[in-house]
Chains A and B, each alone.
Chain A
C-alpha cells in the first residue's frame, strides 16, 4: 500500500471510532435542517412572486447541506493545529514523503470519515422518515437516475476541491500558529458563499452569478443543484470543469505556499 493511501486508511479507521460526536452532529443537523426549512417555507408563503428555486428543490438542497456538512472546508483539523502548536510538526517534516500530499491525504480522511457516519442516517431520516411523519413536501426527494449519477461525480469533485481548500487552511497555520482567527473568518465565509445558509439561487442575480464562479460554490451549491435537477444534465460537464479547475488552481497555490512555509517555519519549542 502506498504511503498516502495508508495514511488515509489509518485516519479513516480512527475517525470512525467517534460515535458520540457523530450522534451529536446528527442531532444538531436535523435541528438546523428543520429551522432552515421552516424559515424558508414562511418566506415562500408570504410572496406571490415565482421563487428562483422551487420549494421541493430547496428542501433537498437544505438536507444535502446538513447531511454533507462535514465535507465543507470551514474548519481546521484539531490534530494538525495541535501539531503546529506543540512543534510535533517536526516529525511530519522528517518523513520522506511530500508534505503537501501527506496533509491532503489527512484532509481527505478527515472530510470523508465523519461524513460517512452522518450522511447515511441523515439521508434515511430526510428521505424516508419525514414523509412518514406527514411532511412529504419537506423531504429530500430521490434524484432521477441521470441527476443521481451527475451528483455522484460532482460530489467527488466537491470533495477534492474541499480538501484542497482545507489543506490551504492547514498551511496558513504555519504562519498564524493558532488559527482561531482564520477559522472564524472561514466559518462565516463558507456558510454564506457555499450556499449552506442561504441557497445561492436566492441571492440577487448579480451576486448569485459571481458566487457560482467562485470556488466555494463548487463544494456545495453546484452538486446540490445537480442532484435536484436545478442544473440541467447538459450542464454537468461545465460544473465539473469549474470544480476541477479550482481544485487544480488551489492545489498549485497550496504547493507554492507550503514550500515557503517550510522555509520560514520555526518549529515551536525545544
Chain B
C-alpha cells in the first residue's frame, strides 16, 4: 500500500502586487491589485514505503508548497492527499506524530539551549517513552557522530554540525516518514557526504520513506532511485534518473586530452561543445554513432593522452526539461508560467534553460 498518495492537488496564492516607486507605493495604499498564482496545478504522485524519492524544481515551482501540504501545514484548494491513510491538514496532530521534517534553512533546535536539552524537549513533545528515546538517541548520536556536540548551545554549532543535530532531532521519535527540504544546503563536502550516507542507510536499513527536495543534483545522483521534477506547479517527469535522462536527451560526452600541438578535432557527427587548453569535449548520440566507433576515429586521427565518456550533468538535463516546458507553456497558456513566487522565478528557470546549455548541438 502506498505511504503517500497525492491526486490532482491544487493550491493558488493571492499575491498583492505593488507598482514600483513612491507613486506606486502610494497607489497601493488606496487600491491593492492582486494576482493569483497557481503554485500547485494538478499535482499527482504516489510513494511506496521505503522509497527514497528526489523532488526537484526551480525556485517557486511548487516544491515547498507540496511538502508543506504533505506536512499538514497548509491546506490545498483542491485535490486529494493522504499520508499513511490520513489527510494531513484534517488529522494534523496524529499525522505529524509519524512524521519527521528537516527544513535545511531553519533549525528546529532551541537556539540558546545545549543540543541534548533540545533532544529532551522533543522527547517530551512527542511523548516518546524513556527507554525508546534512550535507544534512539544513542543510535543517532553514534551514527551522526554527535557525542562531542551534545553540551554545546545550538547557536555555537557550525552549519554542518547543526544539520547533523537537526537530522537527529527529526528522528528521535522514529517516524516512518521523513521530509528533507534542502538538507545539504550550505554544507561543506565532508558534511554533505556524511548526511547523504546517513540518509541512504536510514532508508535501506530502517525502511523509512524519504521525500528529498533539493537544488543539489549531486544529492539526487547519490541518493535517489526515483526523481520527480516539478515546474510551474505541474509534475514534468516522474521516474528513475536514467529514464529522465533518456527522455530528455540521448546525448553523451567524450572528453579528450590531446597531445601538445594537436589542432582542432573535426568530427561532423560529434560537434565540439567545449575546449579548455588541450582538453576537448565532444557531444554525440550513441545510437547514431557508437562510442567505440567515435573513439576509434578520434584515436586514429589524433595523438591523445587520455579520454573518457560521461553523461551530461543532471543540471543540464533538468534545465532542458524546464526550457521545453516553458516553451510549451508560453505557446499555449501564458498564465501558467508563473510559479508560487511569481514570474521572476519562472523567468529565472527558463533563463537557466537557455544559458545552461552551452553544449546544445546546433
A270 and B64 contacting across the interface, CB-CB below 8 Å? yes
Task: Flag whether B93 is at the interface (Cβ < 8 A).
Answer: yes
A14-B110, A266-B13 are known; give 15 further A-B pairs, CB within 8 A.
A1-B124, A6-B121, A10-B113, A14-B113, A88-B106, A91-B108, A93-B72, A93-B73, A93-B96, A94-B72, A94-B73, A95-B126, A96-B125, A263-B75, A266-B74
B71 and A96 contacting across the interface, CB-CB below 8 Å? no
- Jot down 23 A-B pairs with beta carbons below 8 A, ordered by A: A3-B126, A5-B124, A6-B120, A6-B125, A10-B113, A10-B121, A14-B112, A14-B113, A87-B106, A90-B103, A90-B106, A91-B101, A91-B106, A93-B92, A94-B71, A94-B73, A94-B99, A96-B126, A97-B125, A266-B74, A267-B68, A270-B59, A270-B63
Q: Give bound CA distance, A69 to B46, whole Å.
A: 54
1/0 per residue, CB under 8 A from B, across A24-68: the answer is: 000000000000000000000000000000000000000000000
Task: Flag whether B117 is at the interface (Cβ < 8 A).
Answer: yes
Contacts of A14 on B, CB cut-off 8 Å? 110, 112-113
A3 and B125 contacting across the interface, CB-CB below 8 Å? yes
Task: Flag whether A188 is at the interface (Cβ < 8 A).
Answer: no
Min CB gap B257→A, angstroms: 41
Q: Give bound CA distance, A265 to B75, whole Å.
A: 9
Q: When the two chains form the complex, which single residue of A5, A95, A263, A270 contacts B105, counting CB atoms closer than 8 Å? A: A270
A7 and B121 contacting across the interface, CB-CB below 8 Å? yes
Which residues of chain B in 231-263 are interfacial with respect to chain A, using CB atoms and an 8 Å cutoff? none
A90 and B94 contacting across the interface, CB-CB below 8 Å? no
Task: Flag whether B309 is at the interface (Cβ < 8 A).
Answer: no
Task: Flag whether B152 is at the interface (Cβ < 8 A).
Answer: no
Task: Flag whether B97 is at the interface (Cβ < 8 A).
Answer: yes
A96 and B73 contacting across the interface, CB-CB below 8 Å? no
A267 and B74 contacting across the interface, CB-CB below 8 Å? yes
1/0 per residue, CB under 8 A from A, across B60-89: the answer is: 000110001001111100000000000001
B106 and A6 contacting across the interface, CB-CB below 8 Å? no
Best-surrounded residue of A91, A94, A267 (most CB of chain B within 10 A): A94
Task: Flag whether B127 is at the interface (Cβ < 8 A).
Answer: yes
Contact (A265, B74) CB under 8 Å given A10-B117, A91-B103, A91-B106: yes
B125 and A95 contacting across the interface, CB-CB below 8 Å? yes
Q: Give bound CA distance, A90 to B69, whole Å.
A: 11
Q: Give bound CA distance, A94 to B92, whole Å.
A: 8
Contacts of B341 on A, CB cut-off 8 Å? 270
Task: Flag whether A178 is at the interface (Cβ < 8 A).
Answer: no
Task: Flag whether A137 is at the interface (Cβ < 8 A).
Answer: no
Q: Give bound CA distance, A17 to B117, whole Å.
A: 15
A94 and B101 contacting across the interface, CB-CB below 8 Å? yes
Task: Flag whether A235 is at the interface (Cβ < 8 A).
Answer: no
A97 and B93 contacting across the interface, CB-CB below 8 Å? yes
Task: Flag whether A144 is at the interface (Cβ < 8 A).
Answer: no
Q: Give bound CA distance, A10 to B99, whole Å.
A: 23
CB-based nearest A residue for B122: A95
CB-based nearest A residue for B94: A96
Contacts of A5 on B, CB cut-off 8 Å? 124
1/0 per residue, CB under 8 A from A, across B101-135: the answer is: 10101111010110001001100111100000000
Contact (A94, B110) CB under 8 Å given A6-B125, A7-B121: no
Contact (A3, B74) CB under 8 Å given A87-B106, A91-B101, A266-B13: no
Contacts of A6 on B, CB cut-off 8 Å? 120-121, 124-125
User: What is the number of contacts between chain A and chain B, taking CB atoms within 8 Å?
Assistant: 81
B71 and A93 contacting across the interface, CB-CB below 8 Å? yes
Contacts of A265 on B, CB cut-off 8 Å? 73-74
Which residues of chain A in 213-270 are interfacial with respect to chain B, using CB atoms and an 8 Å cutoff? 263, 265-267, 269-270
Task: Flag whether A2 is at the interface (Cβ < 8 A).
Answer: yes
CB-based nearest B residue for A83: B106
B124 and A3 contacting across the interface, CB-CB below 8 Å? yes
CB-based nearest A residue for B109: A91
Q: Give bound CA distance, A87 to B341, whole Å.
A: 15
Contacts of A270 on B, CB cut-off 8 Å? 59, 63-64, 105, 181-182, 341
Min CB gap A100→B, angstroms: 12
9 closest A-B pairs (Cβ-Cβ)? Answer: A6-B124, A96-B97, A3-B125, A88-B106, A91-B108, A93-B73, A3-B124, A270-B64, A96-B93
Task: Flag whether A86 is at the interface (Cβ < 8 A).
Answer: yes
Q: Give bound CA distance, A253 to B113, whole Å.
A: 32
A94 and B96 contacting across the interface, CB-CB below 8 Å? yes
1/0 per residue, CB under 8 A from B, across A85-108: the answer is: 011101101111110000000000
Q: Give bound CA distance, A98 to B96, whole Å.
A: 11
Q: When the two chains form the complex, which single residue of B75, B112, B121, B181 contacts A17, counting CB atoms closer than 8 Å? A: B112
Which residues of chain B in 313-346 are interfacial with respect to chain A, using CB atoms and an 8 Å cutoff? 341
Q: Give bound CA distance, A6 to B113, whole Å.
A: 13
Min CB gap A114→B, angstroms: 14
Contacts of A269 on B, CB cut-off 8 Å? 105
Min CB gap A135→B, angstroms: 40
Q: Give bound CA distance, A181 to B184, whole Å.
A: 37
Contacts of B101 on A, CB cut-off 8 Å? 90-91, 94
Min CB gap B179→A, angstroms: 9
Q: Give bound CA distance, A90 to B181, whole Å.
A: 12
A10 and B59 contacting across the interface, CB-CB below 8 Å? no
A90 and B113 contacting across the interface, CB-CB below 8 Å? no
Best-surrounded residue of A90, A97, A267 (most CB of chain B within 10 A): A90
